């Protein structure tokens, strides 16, 4: 048993069934139409023949001539002919002629009383009827005979309907064969059309399976502006995006592995040195412990950054906005970095207008400022200057972190917010700080911009909504 599992076979079967149904309905209507049309043509022809015979009888000189003409026409037309007198018509109209025989043919008892009345009125009658005792259908045409403008009788002509049906059957059989040939051609076309429609779908299915298996370079070579072409373009776009995501995943693993390897190696090396008693000097032991603690803090920062990055990319980063003083926040963070700035002989200045109250997540904004100031200290040379400022502008709090450091090269500038991107001269940190800072600000409905002049200055800026606008 054939099971039509594929779209190709189901589509072809559906179209084929529709074609067969349409042709079947067409043949039924055509059969009825042809039979009705041919009957009308034959009826008109018989009525004309009957009227012609009546005219010949009207002009005949004697009964022998009438009988001769009737016999000749009957044989020529292969039709039964009955000549009725006026008395026959009168008796038929009264209903007293049924069963009578006439020497020139069958008594047309198939004529109704209404038909006799029509003949007596001078009208021609054409219809279908059954011959008495034979139960065969006939086509009957009857027309009155007029002599000196008086109804003298009638000519009744009848032929078996089988003759008509045989001709119609021949025509219908030829039409049927033509319909079968056309139907086979249509089904072959449906077969090609089904394959034409299903082939791109099969190609796209195979491509998606390859993509699911990790072959992101797989493309669907289907062009067009229709739905199939649009679907193919969407699959190709999906493949490209998955390839990018896969590359990002590989880069993430490589970068994390690299960031973990160095501090872990240092922690292990100094820990083994302390364990084995290689270092005897107390001061040097303290330095080793400080290095281990610093590298541990570095690992902790990396893990914290990775968790924040994961939350940002999944959209699950928690933001709890509330009113707080951005001025106080800036001064507090700058105080935390005073020692680090002084160690590098960098002037760190907080320049924020008093009483700037914003509506944001204070902890997350502190995290943004911490990353920006830390980056500024890492990239500002000795005797440089860092300014952290906040001011009201266009109904918002406008915050800037500016430094007089080495700046950012034009080649690095478009990529500084990419994950793990450190630039040509940057080897400190995890390369995630600016990525996280931008994600936090995006979650606040804000953005961060950067302007930099190589070997002169760099300025990061972002804005936050003022509290009174939210209240």
With b for 16 or more beta-carbon neighbours within 10 A and e for fewer, the 59-78 pattern comes to eeeeeeebeebbeebbeebe
pLDDT band at 131 (very low <50, low <70, confident <90, very high): low
Q: Which residue has the higher pLDDT, 231 or 102?
A: 231
For the segment 428-453, the average pLDDT, to the nearest whole number, is: 85
Is pTM beyond 0.75 here?
no
Domains (ranges, CATH) in the chain? 7-166 (3.30.450.20), 227-314 (1.10.287.130), 322-470 (3.30.565.10)
Q: Distance of CA 396 to CAs 390, 422, 428, Å?
A: 10, 31, 33
Q: Which residue has the higher pLDDT, 12 or 457?
A: 457
pLDDT band at 29 (very low <50, low <70, confident <90, very high): confident
Instruction: Give me the pLDDT at residue 135, please.
Output: 52
Task: Look at residue 191 and tell me whether its pLDDT is greater than 50.
Answer: yes
State the Cα angle at 353 between 348 and 354, rounded to 5°.
Answer: 115
Instruction: Give me the pLDDT at residue 464, please.
Output: 93
Residue 401 near residue 376 (C-beta atoms within 8 A): yes
pLDDT band at 116 (very low <50, low <70, confident <90, very high): confident
The per-residue pLDDT for range 99-108, each reduced to its tens digit, is 333 333 444 4
DSSP letter string over 202-229?
HHHHHHHHHHHTT-TT-------SSHHH
Task: Look at residue 223 and tell me whether its pLDDT is greater than 90.
Answer: no
pLDDT band at 313 (very low <50, low <70, confident <90, very high): confident
Instruction: Give me the pLDDT at residue 347, please.
Output: 92
Of 185-199, 340-354, 412-426, where does mean pLDDT reach its minimum? 412-426
> The tokens of 145 are what?
């005979």
Q: Which residue has the higher pLDDT, 43 or 388?
A: 388
């Amino acid at each position: 048993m054939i099971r039509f599992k594929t779209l190709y076979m189901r589509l072809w079967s559906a179209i084929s069934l529709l074609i067969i149904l349409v042709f079947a309905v067409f043949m039924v209507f055509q059969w009825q139409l042809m039979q009705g049309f041919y009957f009308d043509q034959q009826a008109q022809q018989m009525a004309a023949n009957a009227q012609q015979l009546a005219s010949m009888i009207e002009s005949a000189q004697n009964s022998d001539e009438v009988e001769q003409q009737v016999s000749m026409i009957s044989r020529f037309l292969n039709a039964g002919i009955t000549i009725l007198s006026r008395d026959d018509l009168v008796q038929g109209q009264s209903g007293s002629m049924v069963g009578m025989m006439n020497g020139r043919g069958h008594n047309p008892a198939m004529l109704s009383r209404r038909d006799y009345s029509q003949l007596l009125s001078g009208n021609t009658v054409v219809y279908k009827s059954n011959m008495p005792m034979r139960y065969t259908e006939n086509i009957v045409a009857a027309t009155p005979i007029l002599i000196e403008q008086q109804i003298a009788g009638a000519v009744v002509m009848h032929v078996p309907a089988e003759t008509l049906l045989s001709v119609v059957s021949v025509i219908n059989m030829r039409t049927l064969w033509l319909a079968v040939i056309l139907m086979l051609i249509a089904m072959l076309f449906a077969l090609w059309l089904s394959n034409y429609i299903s082939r791109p779908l099969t190609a796209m299915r195979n491509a998606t399976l390859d993509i699911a298996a990790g072959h992101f370079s797989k493309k669907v070579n289907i062009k067009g502006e229709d739905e199939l072409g649009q679907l193919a373009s969407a699959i190709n776009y999906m493949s490209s995006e998955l390839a990018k995501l896969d590359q990002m995943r590989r880069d993430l693993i490589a970068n994390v592995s690299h960031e973990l390897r160095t501090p872990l190696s240092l922690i292990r090396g100094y820990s083994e040195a302390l364990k084995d008693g290689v270092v005897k000097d107390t001061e040097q032991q303290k330095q080793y412990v400080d290095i281990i603690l610093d590298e541990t803090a570095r690992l902790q920062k990396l893990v914290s950054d990775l968790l924040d990055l994961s939350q940002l990319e999944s959209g699950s980063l928690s933001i709890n906005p509330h009113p707080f003083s951005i001025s106080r926040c800036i001064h507090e963070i700058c105080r935390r970095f005073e020692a680090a700035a002084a160690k590098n002989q960098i002037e760190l200045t907080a320049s924020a207008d008093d009483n700037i109250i914003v509506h944001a997540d204070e902890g997350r904004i502190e995290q943004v400022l911490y990353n920006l100031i830390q980056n500024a200290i890492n990239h500002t040379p000795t005797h440089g200057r860092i300014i952290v400022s906040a001011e009201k502008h266009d109904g918002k709090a406008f915050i800037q972190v500016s430094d007089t450091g080495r700046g950012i090269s034009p080649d690095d500038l478009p990529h500084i917010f990419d994950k793990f991107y450190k630039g040509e001269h940057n080897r400190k940190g995890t390369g995630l700080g600016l990525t996280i800072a931008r994600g936090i600000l995006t979650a606040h409905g804000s953005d961060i911009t950067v302007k930099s002049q190589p070997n002169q200055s760099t300025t990061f800026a972002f804005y936050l909504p003022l509290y009174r606008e939210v209240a």
